[in-house]
Every structure is written in C-alpha cells, then in structure tokens.
Amino acid sequence: MPEAAERGDAQHLCASEQLAERGDAMVFDVLQYRQPARAFALRFDGRVVAYLNRCAHVPAEMDWQPGQFLDSERAFILCSIHGAAYEPSSGRCVAGPCGRGRLVVIDVEERDGQVYWYPSRDTQPAFAD
C-alpha cells in the first residue's frame, strides 16, 4: 500500500486543531451512491474518525445540533432520532435500535496538522460529476 502522503485522492477537510478531543464534529458534504449526503469527522481518544452521517436504524442524519453527535458523557455517538448508540472508535452499534448495524466508515488521515478524507467507490466528493 502506498504511503498515504502519495495518495492523490486526499480531500482536505480541516486543520487538526479544529477537532477538539470529544468535541464537535466537522460535518462535510459527500455523494453516497451519487446522491447528496453528509459525513462527519470527530476526534475520539486522540484519533480522528469519520463516518457517513446516516443511522443504521433508519437512513437519517443523527446529530442533535449540527456537528453534535456525542452523548452527554461524550462516550458514544448517539442518534438524536431514536437513541441508537455507536462506539466512536469503530462505528459499531452498541445499544438501541441499530441492532448489528454500524456506521459507514470514511477513510480519514491526519498528517502535518491537517485532516484529510479519502473517497471510496461508494462515497465521493460532493463536487464530483
């Protein structure tokens, strides 16, 4: 696998300092299966993770307020609609109506004080044709 720095498809998301530990997420637009959708990135246990903003229970956006995904203890990503709880580090459902589901992972990388995400076959930049 090539070094991440060599990958040409990196999409700049934000500066590292914009993602505080267990703070608000950075929300960004993507195309999921060519349809407009949103994704988010947040910092948890020091690591930046990113997911499609789409609950595994019902395909709806989950944030309470724009960019606010974590519960009051800042331990889980909590869907504001019916309370599904996801493990922030993996996106795996741990409680609530999401069953064995999990959030769709967006490949993300932090380097040189900046955060980048990487498109996949299913998830593309919003400005793609």
Residues in touch with ligand FES (CB under 6 A): 55, 57-58, 60, 62, 79, 81-84, 96-97
* DSSP single-letter state for residue 61: -
**C-beta of 43 vs 57, nearer to ligand FES:** 57
**C-beta of 66 vs 83, nearer to ligand FES:** 83
**Residue 32 one-letter amino acid:** Q
Q: How many CB atoms lie within 10 A of CB 78?
A: 21
Per the DSSP assignment, residues forming a β-bridge with 41 are 26, 50
**C-beta of 24 vs 63, nearer to ligand FES:** 63
* Helix residue ranges, H only, the chain: none
List CB contacts of 75: < 8 A, sequence separation 6 or more. 88
